[in-house]
């Protein structure tokens, strides 16, 4: 359904993203994890064709959606795709909602635009979708303004807008970061149910490894603009090969009654302007050798997984 290969993104001379690859089938959920600044949102923006808005451009690689190459797609064609067959859910619902317009018309608009429905048909569809998203009294909600709703409700409306065009793929960029913890869990469960009910493909961007473990089929671990390890969730969580993935998994708090130990990762994430030479993780890596500081590790493939490390392997 969606295949990204060797994606590279540049802003002028700086290249904050390089060598990002992953593939997503119908009905699958792919998690993209990594610390702040690792390139998760840039990856999402690339898929959505929204990079030019921030002055970035794709300098290498390909993005193929349903057999169609997206990196060379014209803007009008992209506009039909975006919000149509590929929906975006952002971190802050207010980037997608118009504060001055009632909820109903905002959601209706999507089906009018992308499915060619009449206003009346679109409203019936809006009410139905709001109902599926477990929004109480959907017809009444249509008459409300965004500021009359809680954060969690607003995010459900954004999800409704993304669903209104009957997409094949949803890209959710940290959809719950702005919400409180109990609401976060509800929204994640809702997305998970939608994927199953509608056979959707979901790209779920998060910094939370436990969310990935619970909801995703595949995972891409990002570090300093590189996909340093990717593969099926079972394989990656069962036997992570990259020291950074191992450290991230070590940070997941265990359940009550177990030894609660948070293994913080010492050191800080490099920024675009000081990406280390060689392996970007070498200043923080407990396993680093001389070659790690000079040579960038290539991806080594094993089954459906791949890892970029000179000395991959399970923790000693």
Ligand X SMILES: Nc1ncnc2c1ncn2[C@@H]1O[C@H](COP(=O)(O)OP(=O)(O)OP(=O)(O)O)[C@@H](O)[C@H]1O
Among 20, 24, 33, 37, the residue binding ligand X under the rule CB under 6 A is 37
292 near ligand SF4 (CB under 6 A): yes
CA distances from 225 to 101, 191, 249, 273 (A): 38, 26, 19, 12
Smallest CA-to-CA distance from 128 within 142, 114, 118 is with 142
Tell which one of 19, 31, 34, 83 touches ligand X (CB under 6 A): 34
Residue 37 binding result from Mg ion, ligand SF4, ligand X, none, given CB thresholds of 5 to 8 Å by partner type: ligand X
Q: Which residues in 241-280 contact ligand SF4 (CB under 6 A)?
A: 242-243, 279
Stretch that binds Mg ion, among 39-47, 70-78, 156-164, 229-237 (CB under 5 A): 39-47
DSSP reduced 3-state for 292: helix
List the interface residues with ligand SF4, window 187-246 (CB under 6 A).
242-243
CA-wise closest residue to 155 among 97, 234, 85, 207: 97
Q: Which stretch binds ligand SF4 (CB under 6 A): 4-12, 102-110, 202-210, 303-311?
A: 303-311
Nearest alpha-carbon partner for 283 in 308, 263, 266, 307: 266
H/E segment holding residue 60: strand 57-65
The smaller minimum CB distance to Mg ion, of residues 41 and 106, is found at 41
Pick the closer one to ligand SF4 by CB: 27 or 313: 313
Q: Which two tokens stand for residue 304?
A: 């459906």
User: Would you say how long the chain is, in residues?
Assistant: 316
Tokens (6 digits) for 91 = 């971190």
From the list 137, 119, 117, the residue with the least C-alpha distance to 127 is 137
Using CB distances below 5 to 8 A depending on partner kind, what does residue 18 bind out of Mg ion, ligand X, ligand SF4, none?
none
- Among Mg ion, ligand X, ligand SF4, none, what binds residue 38 when CB lies within 5 to 8 Å by partner kind? ligand X
Q: Is 41 in the site for Mg ion (CB under 5 A)?
A: yes
Phi first, then psi: give them for residue 315, nearest 5 degrees.
Answer: -55, 140
Q: Does 285 bind ligand SF4 (CB under 6 A)?
A: yes
Min dist CB 267 to ligand SF4, Å, is 12
Q: Which of 56/84 has CB closer to ligand X?
A: 56
Question: Which residue's CB is nearer to ligand X, number 207 or number 296?
Answer: 207
65: partner contacted, choices ligand SF4, Mg ion, ligand X, none (Cβ within 5-8 A by kind): none
Residues 219-248, interacting with ligand X (CB under 6 A): none
Number of residues that bind Mg ion (CB under 5 A): 2
Which of 94, 112, 102 is CA-nearest to residue 164? Answer: 112
Output 170 or 292, the one with its CB closest to ligand SF4: 292
What's the Cα-to-Cα distance from 265 to each of 82, 239, 243, 245, 314, rounded to whole Å? Answer: 37, 19, 10, 11, 17
Among 37, 281, 305, 306, binds ligand SF4 (CB under 6 A): 281
User: Which C-beta is closer to Mg ion: that of 41 or that of 96?
Assistant: 41
CB 117 within 8 A of CB 111: yes
Among residues 282, 304, 306, 313, the one that binds ligand SF4 under rule CB under 6 A = 282
Q: Alpha helix locations (H) across the chain?
A: 40-48, 75-81, 103-115, 119-132, 138-141, 151-164, 181-198, 209-215, 233-238, 243-250, 290-294
In the complex with Mg ion, the residue whose CB is nearer, 45 or 141, is: 45
Q: Copy the structure tokens of residue 302.
A: 């094993």
Footprint of ligand X (CB under 6 A): 11, 16, 34, 36-42, 54-56, 207, 271-272
């Amino acid at each position: 359904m969606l295949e990204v290969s060797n994606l590279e993104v540049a802003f002028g001379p700086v290249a904050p993203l390089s060598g990002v690859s992953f593939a997503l089938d119908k009905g699958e959920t792919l998690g993209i994890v990594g610390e702040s600044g690792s390139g998760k949102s840039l990856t999402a923006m690339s898929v959505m064709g929204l990079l030019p808005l921030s002055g970035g451009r794709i300098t290498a690689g390909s993005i193929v959606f349903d057999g169609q190459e997206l990196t060379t797609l014209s803007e009008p064609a992209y506009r039909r795709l975006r919000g149509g067959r590929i929906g975006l859910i952002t971190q802050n619902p207010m980037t997608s909602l118009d504060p001055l317009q009632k909820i109903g018309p905002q959601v209706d608009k999507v089906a009018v635009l992308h499915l060619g429905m009449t206003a009346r048909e679109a409203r019936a569809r809006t009410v139905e979708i709001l109902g599926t998203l477990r929004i109480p009294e959907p017809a009444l909600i249509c008459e409300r303004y965004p500021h009359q709703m809680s954060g969690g409700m607003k995010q459900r409306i954004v999800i409704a807008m993304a669903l209104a065009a009957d997409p094949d793929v949803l890209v959710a960029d940290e959809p719950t970061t702005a919400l409180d913890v109990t609401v976060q869990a509800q929204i994640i469960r809702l997305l998970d149910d939608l994927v199953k009910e509608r056979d959707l493909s979901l790209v779920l961007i998060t910094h939370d490894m436990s969310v990935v473990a619970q909801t995703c089929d595949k995972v891409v671990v990002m570090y300093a603009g590189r996909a340093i390890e990717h593969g099926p969730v079972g394989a990656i969580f069962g036997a992570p090969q990259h020291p950074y993935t191992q450290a991230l998994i070590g940070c997941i708090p265990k359940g009550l009654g177990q030894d609660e130990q948070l293994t913080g990762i010492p050191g800080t994430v490099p920024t675009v302007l000081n990406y280390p030479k060689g392996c970007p993780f070498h200043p923080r890596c407990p396993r680093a050798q001389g070659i790690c500081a000079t040579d960038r590790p290539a991806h080594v493939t094993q089954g459906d997984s791949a890892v970029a490390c000179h000395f991959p392997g399970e923790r000693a």
